[in-house]
Structure 1
Amino acid sequence: MLHALPMPAAIVRREEGALGVIARNTAFVALERSGSIGSVVLRPGSPIATATAALLDRDGDPLGRQDFRWRDGDVVAGRHFQVHLAPFGLASGDRACLLSLIDRTAEVESARSLRAELAHDSLTGLPNRSAFAEAVEDVVGGAGPHAVLLVDLARFSRINESLGVMAGDEVIITVARRLLSTLRTGDLLARVGGDEFGMLLQLDRGADDAMAAARRIREVLAAPFRLSGFEIGLECAIGMALLTESVESGEELVRHAQLALKRAKQSGLEEIHQPGEAACARYRLDLETELRRAIAQEALSLAFQPLIHLGRDQLVGFEALARWRHAERGPIDPSEFIPVAEETGLIVPLGRWAMNQAVATLAAWDKAVGKSLPLSVSVNVSAIQLARDDVPALVASALAAHDVAGERLTIELTESAIVQDPERATAAFRALKALDVRIAMDDFGTGYSSLSSLRRLPIDILKIDRSFVTGMLGDRDKVAIVRAVLSLADALGKKTTAEGVETAELSHMLAALGCTQGQGYLYAPPLPEAEALAYLKARL
């Protein structure tokens, strides 16, 4: 019966105080001859001998059994078995044990290979995101000073778009090789995203080591990549986070590095996570959730700041500005919630609401005074909204819904709206002009507009940024800049609006220089709708 078993099997009993094999099948003999089993059953202290002896010496149920895994040999070249021990009584009254072995080597090696495959990036062979996360988790809690460094390749998608995916893969492989050359003993490199790499660094000198690693990365990536007859330059953003006592998990440490990476993409510099940055990110996340709810519930409002014709000291319009009074936090500054809206895409529904509300308010004022007012309303449109929304259709709908002429609406856009997508901006401008809507370039002088775009695009008004206007009375450079902008506008046949007018002397100077309109606290701060109506009635 023993010989019929397909697996290696033997019967073991005590002989003169030691374990001995009294019967074995051919499969077990083959293992012995191959050297895989040898005399392991008889060798004192081996796992099989110890377990077998314990079963044979144990009083009680003779049918008790034991199963366990056993490796014969080293980790690399050893074989893996599932061991089954089943004690039984012999006719002589002695106890014996049936030892059977199931060879699991192929299964174990297959599982090991699968784990290795699942833990590595197939393109570069580097550890992948999950393996990197495990490695970071392992160092948290006492493995010495470490840092996580994240590298994001800037504008990598253009390579895939222009040269194809194969070319992009070649660049990724080359980047991986270059980054590997920057590692020191004990450092780890992983590919954690399509064009993002992560490093786990051992630190001897704290932040200095992390910054030195960042400099090495900059140096190796500075050389152009030669690909398909092209020389391609790659830029990268680098964010770092140091492992400190306050870090409780690897996930938290990686998240800190991601926050620093986000800042690095904006600054163009290597950035190290700063204490309190995570709390700030959490605040922005809370703000996003509450802003989304406020927009859905129309819990925001518009404030209106007067626009004054400087030559005639006459009210000619208002700029509509979004305001948010939180039920618990009170007023939240636009400098806080507008960037969150732009980052999350909430600027699109916010902009739609503001456009409709501003036009509706202008129509309500007409009705309140019993005539069509000689006033316009200006509404800001974000570059993101211009790129994602059909702004001309939105404007047409709002004008038609409230029976307001297009010439009474001014759309204010920043220079970045033109730079990001010139063709889309041009098409949108032309569609808006077809509705008789006026277009103003906001914050002029702080962006990247070219003279050719100013001449080509149907822009009606240049708004001089307050950074040039404020304090210009005592600053000759600012006066020269404002004078140059006004001369340029006059040459191109465009009107001008100066922001930040806070004194009568400044208002007179701007008028003398030829500025068309002024806006600032000299005339009035942004006013709630009812107060703005009272203001315009007083100036009629």
Structure 2
Amino acid sequence: MQAAAQLSSGSPKSRRTTEKGGNPYALAEDVALLAALPIAAAIIEQSDTEGFVATASNQRFSDLVTRTSAAAFAWDKGCRVPSEGPFTLLLYEFFSGINPTGELDFIDGDGVSAHYFRVKLAPLPRMASGKLRCLLSVVDRTVEVQAERALRAEMLRDSLTGLPNRLSFTESIESLEGVHDDEIEHAVLVVDMLRFSRINESMGTLAGDELLITFARRLILTLRAGDILARTGGNEFGVLVSLRRGVEDALKAAERIQEVMTTPFKISDLEIRVDCAVGVALMQPGQDPEELFRSAQFAVKQAKQAGKPQVYEPREASAARRRFSIETELRRALDKDQLRLFYQPLIDLKTGKVSGFEALARWTHEDRGEISPNEFIPVAEESGLILQLGRWAMHKASQTLADWDSKIGQQLPLYVGVNLSAIQVARDDIAGMVSSALKSSGISGDRLTLELTESSIVQDPGRATRVFDALKALDATVAMDDFGTGYSSLAYLQRLPIDVLKIDRSFVSGMMVDPDSVAIVRAVLSLADALGMSTTAEGIETVELATTLAALGCSSGQGYYFAKPLEAEAALEYWASRNRG
């Protein structure tokens, strides 16, 4: 490159020699152009016989060529570009129009001492001889690249614990996609610190941060060579482990994690015991890293319920996805009024006549067909849609009873029972909802029976008492549904204004074969009689059950022996046929 250096200092008055005359010389205007540029630059000309030649360069370019060892600048002393290599290919593509941007990055050196450069080409007017030429400039990007790397390293690091963060953890999983080893598998463990929010709220964020740092240090103690630990959320950590014995190794890693957490943490002169839930997901070939991580998170939820580490099971996830799908479809069905109320007759066991009906929600999906209430009611409660569903059922049942009165031409001696969930009692204005339904339908409160489970009382006895009192103020009847299956205290029966005890079907169905079931039913009936309550037996399937319950003094019953839940019109016809005469 000595010739290039000599050209850069040539006189503006110098002129190019003829093409037959060996080495080219710089034109005065080229030298002036290069001298004005603040970066390393040279002018490259395409030669018929010598390929590509640098006809002029500035001092910065000469200094760069002198100190760099990069192969891109392995030019001979005649300033000729090598006949092969990436730089030569770039020039060919640039002059031929294949690569009009004309850019090439290259590195000089290794490790921390490496320098990063970018070569750019720009077209120049042709020579009078028609030869093509371009301006080559070299930008030193070392500082820029180092800054980008520092910024990226900061982006991939958790500032509190110094561990890799969620993004870095995902990239670590992605890096395994091209690694194939029949003996080694991989798994992701998600570790969730339990009760962290309570600790954070009671002791303050500084103590919470200290706990997170200490927790992370203990997790590091459980790692083996090659394992990767990251903080993937507020109180959530991810561990990428290699497995030689499949799921057994993953579960042992989870056991190690739980074992190191058994020793209490000392935070601000307090000893705190911290439990954790661990979910495991085994990596499958071609699996998306985010999907793998979400699978481990799903396993964590199961681990919290089970109280021990859990391995992700696709079937469980499929059921969860179905529940989520049902939630979406149920919301749409409620908005479009696609659910229906069916009515199951409640029979007076002494007279055999219909005394009322229990309103039951039914859902026939246009694609999935009949969806059981045992499936969509829990989804409604979990998602909060039970509030909308409950209000719809209350208004629909009240209006149906009013429609029956209108059709017969008189007020019927009937009541309708409507179920209330514990979620409604806890979160909704029950009295306001019932009052609105009564007002819009025009029926009186004594024709509604509100059925509540024991769980709605146990969760918040004070609120349940207020709800019961408000319902009684509307003259509504209050029934405790599924009595005997919950955990209610007998004191509630004495203190709360409950009118009816409904005996759960699990006791009724076993009466003919299980003496204990008979004893329980007898006890419930005696208790109700002592407290001045009436009783309703659920799940009466045979005439023997109906006769036995009537003999024991049960007030009313319902079940398939009498009738299945009926649509509104069929229910009215059933009442008319049963109560005729």
When normalised by structure 2's length, the TM-score is 0.75
Q: Does 1:49 align with 2:49?
A: no
Asked if the contact 1:80–1:103 (Cα under 8 Å) also holds between the matched residues in 2, the reply is yes
More deviation, 487-496/191-200:
487-496
Asked if the contact 1:3–1:26 (Cα under 8 Å) also holds between the matched residues in 2, the reply is no
Cα distance in 2 between the residues matched to 1:481 and 1:219? 46
- Which residue does 1:218 correspond to in 2? 258
Cα deviation code 1:219-273 (max 9, x no counterpart) = 344455454566555554443322234x542233334334444444454453333
Alpha-carbon offset, residue 358 of structure 1: 0.8
152, 162, 168: which is aligned to 1:125? 162
116, 132, 142: which is aligned to 1:80? 116
- Which residue does 1:106 correspond to in 2? 143
SS of corresponding position for 1:200:
strand
SS of corresponding position for 1:126:
coil
- Which residue does 1:474 correspond to in 2? 513
Q: Does 1:462 align with 2:505?
A: no
Asked if the contact 2:296–2:312 (Cα under 8 Å) also holds between the matched residues in 1, the reply is yes
- Which residue does 1:502 correspond to in 2? 541
Asked if the contact 2:42–2:61 (Cα under 8 Å) also holds between the matched residues in 1, the reply is no
Asked if the contact 2:507–2:517 (Cα under 8 Å) also holds between the matched residues in 1, the reply is yes
Q: Residues 492, 220 of structure 1: CA spacing in aligned structure 2 closer, same or farther, 3 A cutoff?
A: farther
More deviation, 462-471/290-299:
462-471
Q: Residues 420, 252 of structure 1: CA spacing in aligned structure 2 closer, same or farther, 3 A cutoff?
A: same
Cα distance in 1 between the residues matched to 2:193 and 2:571? 49
Alpha-carbon offset, residue 122 of structure 1: 2.8
Q: Residues 444, 49 of structure 1: CA spacing in aligned structure 2 closer, same or farther, 3 A cutoff?
A: farther
Alpha-carbon offset, residue 399 of structure 1: 0.8
Cα distance in 1 between the residues matched to 2:269 and 2:526? 47
Cα distance in 2 between the residues matched to 1:483 and 1:125? 66
Q: Does 1:305 align with 2:341?
A: no
50, 69, 79: which is aligned to 1:40? 69
More deviation, 396-405/110-119:
110-119
Cα distance in 2 between the residues matched to 1:440 and 1:39? 90
Asked if the contact 1:85–1:99 (Cα under 8 Å) also holds between the matched residues in 2, the reply is yes
Letter in 1 for 2:420: V
SS of corresponding position for 1:54:
coil
Q: Does 1:205 align with 2:205?
A: no
SS of corresponding position for 1:289:
helix
- Which residue does 2:281 correspond to in 1? 241
Letter in 2 for 1:254: F
Cα distance in 2 between the residues matched to 1:49 and 1:87? 23
Cα distance in 1 between the residues matched to 2:497 and 2:237? 45
Cα distance in 1 between the residues matched to 2:238 and 2:441? 54
406, 411, 415: which is aligned to 1:372? 411
Alpha-carbon offset, residue 150 of structure 1: 2.8
Q: Does 1:272 align with 2:311?
A: yes
- Which residue does 1:407 correspond to in 2? 446
Cα distance in 1 between the residues matched to 2:134 and 2:569? 96
Asked if the contact 1:56–1:87 (Cα under 8 Å) also holds between the matched residues in 2, the reply is no
Alpha-carbon offset, residue 323 of structure 1: 0.6
Q: Residues 87, 518 of structure 1: CA spacing in aligned structure 2 closer, same or farther, 3 A cutoff?
A: closer
Asked if the contact 2:74–2:82 (Cα under 8 Å) also holds between the matched residues in 1, the reply is no
Cα deviation code 1:443-477 (max 9, x no counterpart) = 33333334455544444333333233322332344
Q: Residues 164, 416 of structure 1: CA spacing in aligned structure 2 closer, same or farther, 3 A cutoff?
A: farther
Alpha-carbon offset, residue 404 of structure 1: 1.7
Alpha-carbon offset, residue 301 of structure 1: 0.8
SS of corresponding position for 2:359:
strand
- Which residue does 1:189 correspond to in 2? 229
For structure 1, the residue ranges without an aligned partner over 5 or more in a row are 13-18, 89-95
Q: Does 1:150 align with 2:150?
A: no
Letter in 1 for 2:538: E
Asked if the contact 1:140–1:249 (Cα under 8 Å) also holds between the matched residues in 2, the reply is no
SS of corresponding position for 1:198:
strand
1:292-441 mapped onto 2 (5 Å cutoff): 292-310=331-349, 313-441=352-480
**Number of equivalenced pairs:** 520
Cα distance in 2 between the residues matched to 1:444 and 1:356? 26
Asked if the contact 1:147–1:242 (Cα under 8 Å) also holds between the matched residues in 2, the reply is yes
Letter in 2 for 1:119: L
Q: Residues 223, 28 of structure 1: CA spacing in aligned structure 2 closer, same or farther, 3 A cutoff?
A: farther
Q: Residues 290, 384 of structure 1: CA spacing in aligned structure 2 closer, same or farther, 3 A cutoff?
A: same
168, 171, 182: which is aligned to 1:134? 171
Letter in 1 for 2:242: Q
Asked if the contact 1:56–1:97 (Cα under 8 Å) also holds between the matched residues in 2, the reply is no
Cα distance in 1 between the residues matched to 2:75 and 2:379? 66
SS of corresponding position for 2:341:
strand
Q: Residues 188, 511 of structure 1: CA spacing in aligned structure 2 closer, same or farther, 3 A cutoff?
A: farther
Letter in 2 for 1:69: D
Cα distance in 2 between the residues matched to 1:523 and 1:499? 11
SS of corresponding position for 1:139:
coil
Q: Considering only aligned residues, what root-mean-square deviation do their CA atoms show, in Å?
A: 4.2
Alpha-carbon offset, residue 356 of structure 1: 0.7
Q: Does 1:175 align with 2:175?
A: no
Asked if the contact 2:345–2:558 (Cα under 8 Å) also holds between the matched residues in 1, the reply is yes
Q: Residues 521, 129 of structure 1: CA spacing in aligned structure 2 closer, same or farther, 3 A cutoff?
A: same
For structure 2, the residue ranges without an aligned partner over 5 or more in a row are 1-31, 45-52, 96-100, 125-132
Letter in 2 for 1:347: I
Asked if the contact 1:55–1:87 (Cα under 8 Å) also holds between the matched residues in 2, the reply is no
Q: Residues 388, 155 of structure 1: CA spacing in aligned structure 2 closer, same or farther, 3 A cutoff?
A: farther
Cα distance in 1 between the residues matched to 2:349 and 2:268? 60
Cα deviation code 1:265-323 (max 9, x no counterpart) = 45445333334445444444443333222212211111111223445545332211101
Asked if the contact 1:5–1:25 (Cα under 8 Å) also holds between the matched residues in 2, the reply is no
